[in-house]
Amino acid sequence: MSIAISGIGISRGIAIGAVQRLEQGEIEVYEAAIPGALIEEEISRFRRAVRTARQQLKAIRNSIPETTTADITDFIDTHLLMLEDSMLTATPVELIRQHQCNAEWALKIQRDALAQVFDEMDDPYLRTRKDDVDHVVNRILRILTGRDTHADPLDDDQLRGAIVIAHDLTPAETALLHHQGIAGFITESGGPLSHTAILARSLGLPAIVGTHTTPHQIRDGDNVILDASRGVLLADLDAATLRDYRRQQRQQQKYRSELKHLKDEPAITLDGTRMHLVANVELREDVLAARRAGAEGIGLYRTEFLFMNRTDIPDEEEQLQQYLSVVKTLKGLPVTIRTLDLGSDKECGAEPAREHTPVNPALGLRAIRLCLKHADLFRPQLRAILRASAKGPVRMMIPMLSSAHELDTVLALIDDVKQELQRERLAFDLHIPVGGMIEVPAAALSASLFARKLDFLSIGTNDLIQYTLAIDRVDDEVTYLYDPLHPAVLRLVKMVIDAGRQYHTPIAMCGEMAGDTRYTRLLLGMGLTEFSVHPTALLEIKDTIIHSRVADFHTQVDGILQDDEPAAIIERLDALNKM
């Protein structure tokens, strides 16, 4: 009898290999007295461990592909910076001297002291810094205690081709395991929108998260199949299942290498409709990856990433230089710059002080709400975006709009900033297109209002699903409810597309749903013409588009939109995808 473990498939593909469980959890540390004569030797042992940790992180940093989103490399850079900081390098040395103790114990004393400092702060951003300290300390401790199974990233036969099972993985660990040649991984915790999930997708690593448990019957060395598309790991396999999966795996590999030919092909359906395929990027560096994948421009530039992992706020000039360099890299292709979407899970060190800690940050002062309250944060960004528009095709996009009053206030503010720039004789595109994201059910239900007043709209399904289904997108206990095919979600998406048609306002989709080929034909049938997706998903979406005759989809798509039964919706979707 085969064993199946289900979780959330966060990437695509099939991996077949032997299980390797990663020993994780708290590393137990004991105090040992070190005789005075051996103190310097102990200090050298500690310094060597820090050096090794640094080398490991640099090896990870160098192994990350260029196409990886920059927040992942920033994450590793933060850990590298911590390894340069005296709090983790000099203080433990002083503690070894002071307590005449072993390096592990000194590091533990310092970690506990830092943890206490972080615990006394209730700022969520700083709490994530505490996790970073833990990751770095654990890395050094693993090296010191000889439990470092990842010491040599290239020479670990146990991991090559393995399916790793872990309780949780940091992005840095994920990158290292990829470097060591693992075939895929599953973790008991984690959600589809975590940094680890984003990294697994960019690395093309089949992975499942949030399995909660992994049965003890599955042991190291057992042969298993990881089917990331279905979010399932199969063990105790029979020969026929294994053969079938090997065949599917070969087909998938062949398909991926064939896709490269599509890079410069236009995305035209079989019945002649031209679709627009643009990319989502976080930082300037990602723009090259987008161009390499053949994107026709940037449909979502998440500018808040420029504000993260630092303690100051980038001023107008710094923002302008960033935006200009994106414009330059794009060589005439358009870029949609989204104004700051801070708040909720996206915190930055220099965020304005809050009157209170929000109980429900996703429903609180985030995105455009935060910007309208803090003109000192918002105006410099508006000025920088407008000034960048003098040098190339720039569009401005406002996140999380929910009401007419909010929209009118933003538009008035943009006008005011334009007048200010005119008075200062600073150049900008007077007709810069201004669009909005439809991420809140209220905005989708009143989409015609937004379609009338804005130059374009983009559907942010990540948040639209979160708010429609009342599920916190970063809470792994409710990710099982995340469902782009929920009738309520589909009907809201359709309403937005129809409002766009009525007012001749272009509608794009930039949430994760747009980058998942399972939904491409459904979205085409619903009338979507612009898809903004992660650069690694672009060619697959294009391939689906060029093999689609949209005129044939109407019966199935209408059926899906009218149906309420999840099983019937999935059946119809499968039929649509097989046409």
The option from Mg ion, ligand PEP, none interacting with 510 (CB < 5 to 8 A, set by class) reads: ligand PEP
484 touches ligand PEP (CB under 6 A): no
- Count of CA atoms in the C-beta half-sphere (13 A) of 380: 14
* Binder of Mg ion out of 13, 361, 460, 515 (CB under 5 A): 460
511 touches ligand PEP (CB under 6 A): yes
Query: In sequence order, which residues have a C-beta less than 8 Å from that of residue 202 and are 6 or more positions away?
Result: 65, 67, 68, 69, 72, 534, 536
The option from ligand PEP, Mg ion, none interacting with 71 (CB < 5 to 8 A, set by class) reads: none
SS3 label, residue 300: strand
* Binder of Mg ion out of 188, 296, 429, 463 (CB under 5 A): 463
Element spanning 423, H or E: helix 404-423
302 touches ligand PEP (CB under 6 A): yes
Smallest distance from the beta carbon of 181 to ligand PEP, in angstroms?
31
The option from Mg ion, ligand PEP, none interacting with 476 (CB < 5 to 8 A, set by class) reads: none
Residues shown for the chain: 579
Q: In the beta sheet, which residues pair with residue 225? A: 16, 234
SS3 label, residue 224: strand
| CA 440 – CA 455 distance, rounded (Å) | 19
- Count the Cβ atoms, other than its own, within 10 Å of residue 517: 16
512 touches Mg ion (CB under 5 A): no
Written in H, E and C, the secondary structure of 161-197 is CCEEEECCCCHHHHHHHHHCCCCEEEECCCCCCCHHH
Smallest distance from the beta carbon of 367 to Mg ion, in angstroms?
7
* Binder of ligand PEP out of 402, 461, 520, 548 (CB under 6 A): 461
SS3 label, residue 143: helix
Q: Are strands 14-21 and 298-302 parallel, antiparallel or unpaired?
A: unpaired
- Is residue 184 within 8 A of residue 165, CB to CB? The reply is no
Dmax over Cα atoms in the chain, in whole Å?
Answer: 84
Residue 140 vs 397, nearer CB to Mg ion: 397
- Count of residues touching ligand PEP (by CB under 6 A): 10
- Count the Cβ atoms, other than its own, within 10 Å of residue 516: 18
299 touches ligand PEP (CB under 6 A): no
Query: Minimal CB distance to Mg ion: which residue?
Result: 463
Closest Cα partner for 207 from 223, 230, 236?
Answer: 230
Smallest distance from the beta carbon of 446 to ligand PEP, in angstroms?
18
| Per-position x/- string for 428-457, each x denoting binding to ligand PEP as judged by CB under 6 A, each - no binding | -----------x------------------
436 touches Mg ion (CB under 5 A): no
Residue 302 vs 387, nearer CB to ligand PEP: 302
Tokens 């995305």 sit on residue = 267
Residue 439 vs 512, nearer CB to Mg ion: 439
Q: Which residues are catalytic?
A: 195, 510
Smallest distance from the beta carbon of 333 to ligand PEP, in angstroms?
20
| CA 254 – CA 258 distance, rounded (Å) | 6
Instruction: Name the one range near ligand PEP by CB under 6 A: 149-157, 203-211, 447-455, 461-469.
Output: 461-469
| Interface residues toward ligand PEP, by CB under 6 A | 300, 302, 341, 439, 460-463, 510-511
Q: Which positions touch Mg ion (CB under 5 A)? A: 439, 460, 463
